[in-house]
Homo-oligomer: A and B are copies of this chain.
Amino acid sequence: MKIYRANLLWTPTPEKFEIIPHGYIAVSDEGKILSVGEQNPIENLSEKSRNSIESQSKVNASLGEVIDFGDKLLIPAFNDLHLHAPQYRNNGLAMDLELLPWLNTYTFPEEMKFKDLAYARKIYTRFVHELWMQGTMRAAIFGTIHLEATQLLAQLLQDAGLGAYVGLVAMNRNSPEDLRNSTEQAIHDTIALDEQLGRNGLVKAIVTPRFIPSCTEDMSHALGVIARERQLPVQSHLSENISEIEWVKQLEPLSTCYGDAYNRYGLFGQTPTLMAHCCYSDDKEKALMRANGVYVVHCPTSNYNLASGMSPIRSYLNEGIKVALGTDISGGHYMSMLRIIQYAIQTSKIHYAQSHGQVPFLSLSEAFYLATKSGGTFFGKVGSFEPGYDFDALVVDDSYLNFANYSLQERIGRFIYIGDDRDIRVRFCLGKELKEPQI
């Protein structure tokens, strides 16, 4: 067991931050949270249990000393539920086109490079380092069609101690010849990745059709079958851009909506499913997402950068649809979930303004909840400070921001809006302190 002391801030529910000044959090050797409170749990042991141990010093030695982070903040680490590792080189670039021409012009040519394992190592090493740097301890990641490169990505994540679902991308139409895999290959490689990674570690496989326009009926069907047979989760894209939605209507005339196309293939909540973007989901699609427990992964920076639009997150929440957040690099330009929290709130404020105040905007605690506990549910008990949860946490030194008697409530707001990776001093994933990965 280890015991940490710091200013604890977390969101067990979206409504508000739970805050304990100089609180204690006890963590088992397996990395699970045992207790969270105002008192040192060792000092709270009953007299009986105290007496059963010879001395207090021995208690401390056997149960772990208190590691005191002083006046620093301790918060749940971030969970990024949608991003593309092979697009890391393109961060901050190539944002002068909408989604479909952007894919063809900038993104597919970059992803083709991952046939070269040396190139993949160079880029994926930096990608994993940045996940660590930004305090993102869990992520749902798109790789490419290349098995070796995707296995390498998974290995680098494991080496860093990070948690992730990693997807071998399946795509066999409407992309360059060199960036297509056959249905057989995609199924084979997805199974190979799953078997390599197994189910007991922090890094696992996820079924990853790129999106409907990239996958023939045959491929989508086969992916749905292995998702069900192997009980693998699914990730893809949904209703991101108007032209894309029109295209899907032509490609899938039998589907009642874009989401229904996935649904017909067993790729829409039959196993846990992430759908990125959802800027334009109609009532049918929303009903299907709610009924099937599909997650909307809100990627606001990407939706701005690719001029896609603004996802109406408040309406999804009101309707009981699960929502998580994603950086979606390189449609999104930056891998910090702090920025995504800001943009999620800001986007909801434009919906508020454009609805003349009818649609309430997201509060800070709601958006933080989406980036921690809500996204964390995809990985198990992750993203909150509650007994039984994985201890995924960040130690934040905001002393340079804290020059004028700020409350802890104010300090978390300032860290989210003004802070950055410089302020994150210690990172824990499943109880383990993660050292900086080499680049």
In contact, A350 and B92 (Cβ under 8 angstroms): no
In contact, A305 and B418 (Cβ under 8 angstroms): no
Interface residues as binary, A342-379 with B (CB distance below 8 Å gives 1, 0 otherwise): 10011101101110100001011000000000000000
A89 within 8 A of B: yes
Interface size of A by CB at 8 A reads 46
CB within 8 Å of B: which A272-306 residues: 301, 304-306
In contact, A91 and B346 (Cβ under 8 angstroms): no
In contact, A404 and B307 (Cβ under 8 angstroms): no
In contact, A342 and B353 (Cβ under 8 angstroms): no
Return the contact of A307 from the options B92, B93, B353, B416 (Cβ within 8 A).
Answer: B353
User: Which B residue sits closest to A307, measured CB to CB?
Assistant: B349
In contact, B334 and A417 (Cβ under 8 angstroms): yes
User: Nearest-CB distance from A97 to chain B (Å)?
Assistant: 11
A308 within 8 A of B: yes
User: Nearest-CB distance from A94 to chain B (Å)?
Assistant: 8
Q: A346-B305, A361-B307, A413-B93 are in contact. Are A418 and B353 (CB under 8 A)?
A: no
Name the B residues within 8 Å of A123 (CB-CB).
404
**Complex CA distance for A349 and B301, rounded to whole angstroms:** 11
Name the B residues within 8 Å of A47 (CB-CB).
none
Q: A333-B342, A417-B333 are in contact. Are A350 and B93 (CB under 8 A)?
A: no
Can you report 18 A-B residue pairs in the complex whose CB atoms are below 8 A from each other? A91-B417, A92-B418, A93-B406, A95-B345, A95-B417, A96-B363, A122-B403, A126-B403, A242-B356, A301-B346, A304-B346, A304-B347, A307-B352, A307-B361, A308-B353, A309-B350, A309-B353, A334-B417
- Residue numbers of A with Cβ under 8 A of B are 89, 91-93, 95-96, 122-123, 126, 242, 301, 304-310, 333-334, 342, 345-347, 349-350, 352-354, 356, 361, 363-364, 401, 403-404, 406, 410, 413-418, 420, 422
